[in-house]
Amino acid sequence: MWTLAAEFQFSWLWVAEVLVGVALYAMLAASLNLVTGFGGMFSLGHHGFFAVGAYAAGWMASLAASVEPGSAAGWAVFAASAVFAVAASAAAGLLVGLPCLRLRGDYLAIATLAFGEIVRIVIQNTPALGGSLELNVPRLVMRPRGLAEVESFRELFLVVGVAALAVVLVVIRNIVRSAHGRAVVSVREDEIASELLGVPTTRYKVRAFVLGAAFAGLAGWYYAHYTGSIAPANFDMLVGIKILLIVVLGGLGSLTGTVLAAAVLVGLERLLQSGVFGEDLKRWMQVEYALILILVMLLRPHGLLGRFELGDLFRRRARGGRAA
Amino acid sequence: MSDALLEARALCKHFGGLRAVHGVDLCVDRGEIVALIGPNGAGKTTCFNCITGADVATAGDVRLGGTSVVGWPAWRVAQAGVGRTFQNIRLFKEMTVLDNVRTPAAFRAGYGLLAAVLRTRAYRASEARTEARARELLALVELEDAAGARARELPYGDQRRLEVARALMLEPRVLLLDEPAAGMNPSEKGELAELVRRIRDERGVAVLLIEHDMKFVMGLSERIYVLDHGEPIACGTPSEVRADPRVVEAYLGAPAEGAR
Ligand SMILES: Nc1ncnc2c1ncn2[C@@H]1O[C@H](COP(=O)(O)OP(=O)(O)O)[C@@H](O)[C@H]1O
Ligand SMILES: [Mg+2]
């Protein structure tokens, strides 16, 4: 992202960038909420699907480097790269989900954790994706040069981001309120009872997991085109922790809470980054996420809006056993 | 091959060296209310688990309408017409009472994810049908006023009846009830017996039930199977079973129990 001189710090330019970050993280957290909040599946590698989507979109855009930004062809590649990013991360979701979702227990948490790291290592060792350096993502819809153009670029992406977020939220909400969504939630509540009441639990878990991965891929597409350059370091564990933190704070199974928590967390982060609270806090920021997450887990709160406790997730997992 | 609705033949389930169920034959015909009794640990719940696919039987056959369901995943057995409740209540606690009942209808929804997202006419029609059926079942178990409450908020007896309504949503051919009257007082038990009869008479669902309360079982069932240490020891009408010396020894031995 662009480094701005101090006088721009609380300008509309700055606010627009913060809001873009809120939309991005709300998208990521909402997609994880489908998996963890509604589906009860503990995934620690959501940033891996985010990375797959970002690199899929970035790679496709890099093939169209000669396309004039803003031309019809530019927009077409922009849209096509969204489809490609979503398809790629959905495929990755299937690859990870299919083998471990058949099993009960914590295989998924471990497998997703490994997946997040593997994605990063694979990218680092793939020259076509920039290796451990940056992958330049050519501009397709607008090339921001001067300050005024940067502003309209951000406004454009704010609109794109809000639209993409709205799509993600409406799709998840409508699915959750359908017969299929009830089946997914019933798996979270009691997998054995669910299966014995005619719900093919593995099929529903895989579906929810793949859908969550697909939406993380959409967020990756958005991020890649916004920043114009992506690197493996943008998709490390810390990003995964941040997404999980937003879900937990907002409440497992609460989409409204997710959006609010994303706004609070990203807003706070940018305020700290701006240095208004001093340089010390700025440096400690990375540690804070892990600390907050640990605290939240220890204290088992209800989140900002959720009724569902994180602790229930573990207790329910521990229960399993036989169908007595 | 018999055309009994539900038939288990030479059913065995061993856990290591423990013969939890050994050589059990069971048969439930259309319109019957049949009971499975026996002391604690006799293997009754394990029988239910093997019939419904929750456990894989070590040996033996389970047939539903003449078709073997051995090796089927539990969801498929359920969809084929076997509904059940659980000895230790297993509701979807955080879901509403209405959603608990609606959940088993998912396989009959008749619309896909895309239709759900777009809220198509097919989606709306299917949802309306499902909700109407769920409310009808809630009325049957007298929980219609609790539709919006969370399942975990219900009193114990109501939770048991909610499990019955939820299982009925499968439109089962046979309903398996695992100690449905446990923890109920005599008047609640009377109402439950009435409910079981109505389920059979009005909905044509056969019932196989596990129950400890002898008065409840004797008054309700047409046929009784008795298990002890995993093995069948008697089978017959309530009066036949009551008179069987092995049953008296194994199960009704305690005078207090027999006197009731
Ligand atoms: N999953 C299991 N693993 C080991 N032993 C089991 C398991 N399930 C049941 N048992 C044993 O099988 C026997 C029968 O249990 P159960 O079917 O629950 O009896 P009932 O329902 O008649 O009280 C008991 O001794 C029980 O401890
Ligand atoms: Mg039992």
Residue ranges in chain B modelled with pLDDT below 50: 1, 255-260
A11 falls within a domain? no
- Alpha-carbon gap, residue A53 to A59, rounded angstroms: 10
What would the mean pLDDT of A36-47 be, rounded to a whole number? Answer: 92
Q: Judge whether residue A73 has pLDDT over 80.
A: yes
Give residue A283's pLDDT.
Answer: 67
What's B1-81+172-260's CATH class? Answer: alpha beta
Greater model confidence, A295 or B224 = B224
Residue A311 scores a pLDDT above 70? no
Residue in A174, A192, A308 nearest the CB of B119 = A174
Cβ count near B84 (within 10 Å): 29
Calpha distance B182→B210 (Å, rounded): 10
Q: Output the pLDDT for position B253.
A: 55
Q: Is B27 left (phi over 0), alpha (psi -120 to 50) or beta?
A: beta
Residue A305: band (very low, low, confident or very high) from pLDDT cuts 50, 70, 90: very low
Helix axis angle for A147-176 and A201-227, nearest 10°, is: 170
Does the pLDDT of residue A319 top 60, yes or no? Answer: no
The reported pLDDT for the residue numbered A102 is 78
B48 Cα nearest atom in ligand 1: 17
pTM (2 d.p.): 0.90
Alpha carbons within 13 angstroms on the beta-carbon side of residue A86 total 14
pLDDT tens column, A159-205: 999 999 999 999 999 999 999 999 999 999 999 999 999 999 999 99
CA gap A30, A22 in Å, rounded: 12
For residues B209 and B35, the answer to whether their CB atoms sit within 8 Å is yes
Distance CA A259, CA A169 (A): 9
For residue A172, tell me if it sits in a domain: yes
Per domain, the residue ranges of chain B are: 1-81+172-260, 93-171
A306 near A37, Cβ under 8 Å? yes
The pLDDT assigned to B2 comes to 58
C-alpha of A163 from chain center: 16
Q: Contact at 8 Å (CB) between B30 and B40? A: no
Which residues, including other chains, have CB under 8 Å from residue B155's CB and lie 6 or more apart? none
pLDDT value for A2: 46
Residue A317 pLDDT class (50, 70, 90 cuts): very low
The amino acid occupying position B248 is: V
User: Among all chains, which residue has been given the structure tokens 């939240």?
Assistant: A296
pLDDT score at A190: 96
Q: Average pLDDT for residues A13-33, to the nearest whole number? A: 95
Measured in Å, residue B180 CA sits from the centre of ligand 2 at 11
% of chain A surpassing 70 pLDDT: 83
The answer to whether residue A323 scores a pLDDT higher than 90 is: no
Q: How confident is the model at residue A148 (pLDDT cuts 50, 70, 90)?
A: confident
Q: Is residue A308 part of a domain?
A: no
| Amino acid A103: pLDDT | 72
The predicted structure's pLDDT at residue A144: 81
pLDDT for position A128: 87
Which pLDDT score, from 0 to 100, does residue B88 have? 95
Q: Count CB neighbours of A318 within 10 A.
A: 9
Q: Does A180 touch chain B (CB under 8 A)?
A: yes
Q: What is the pLDDT of residue A11?
A: 86
What's the confidence (pLDDT) of residue A104? 63
pLDDT tens, residue by residue, B3-58: 789 999 999 999 999 999 999 999 999 999 999 999 999 999 999 999 999 999 99
Q: Tokens 């013969």, residue?
A: B19
pLDDT for position A309: 37
Q: Which residues contact A90 (CB under 8 A, 6 or more apart)?
A: A210, A211, A213, A214, A217
Best probe residue, ligand 1, of B11, B13, B14, B15 (max atoms within 8 Å of C-beta): B15
Residue A279 domain-assigned?
no
B33-66: buried (b, 16+ CB within 10 Å) or exposed (e) per residue? bbbbbbbeebbbbbbbbbbbbbbebeebebbbee
- Mutation pick from A197, A252, A315 vs chain B, by most beta carbons of B within 10 Å, is A197
Confidence (pLDDT) at A285: 67
Q: Which residue of A has its CA nearest to B164?
A: A197
For residue range A74-127, list pLDDT tens digits in order.
Answer: 999 999 999 999 999 999 999 999 988 877 667 888 888 899 999 999 999 999
Confidence band, pLDDT 50/70/90 cuts, at residue A308: very low
Of A130-134, A233-237, B149-153, the range with the highest mean pLDDT is B149-153
pLDDT > 90? residue A272: no
Rounded CA-CA distance B178/B38 in Å is: 12
Q: Give domain status of residue A295, yes or no.
A: no
Place of tokens 């091959």: B1
Supply A311's token pair. Answer: 């602790």
Nearest to B176 by CA among B57, B10, B54, B17: B54
pLDDT of residue A322: 58
Give percent above pLDDT 90 in chain A.
Answer: 57
User: Checking phi first, is residue A16 left (phi over 0); if not, alpha (psi -120 to 50) or beta?
Assistant: alpha
The ipTM value here is 0.93
> What pLDDT is attached to residue A274?
76
Lowest-pLDDT range of A142-156, A194-208, A292-306, B199-213: A292-306
Give me the pLDDT at residue A312, please: 41
Binding site membership of A315 for ligand 1 (Cβ less than 6 Å): no
pLDDT grade for A262, boundaries at 50, 70 and 90: very high
Which of A212, A161, A144 has the alpha carbon at shortest distance from A22?
A161
Q: What is the dihedral of CA A257, A262, A268, A272, to 10 degrees?
A: 160
From ligand 2's centre to the CA of B154, what distance in Å? 23
Best residue of B47, B90, B93 to probe chain A, by most A CBs closer than 10 Å: B90
In a domain, A280, yes or no: no
CA atoms within 13 A on the CB side of A190: 24
In a domain, A167, yes or no: yes
Distances (CA, A) of A270 to A4, A263, A280, B237: 13, 11, 14, 76
Split into its structural domains, chain A has a count of 1
B187 close to ligand 1 (CB < 6 Angstrom): no
Quote the ligand 1 centre to B66 CA distance (angstroms): 28
Predicted pLDDT at A147: 80
**pLDDT band, residue A297 (cuts 50/70/90):** low
Q: Which of A31-45, A275-289, B222-236 has the lowest mean pLDDT?
A: A275-289
Inter-chain Cβ pairs, chain A and chain B, closer than 8 A = 123
CA distance A201 to A194: 7
Q: A28: closest CA among A242, A294, A286?
A: A242
> Would you say A292 and A19 are in contact if contact means Cβ atoms under 8 Å apart?
no
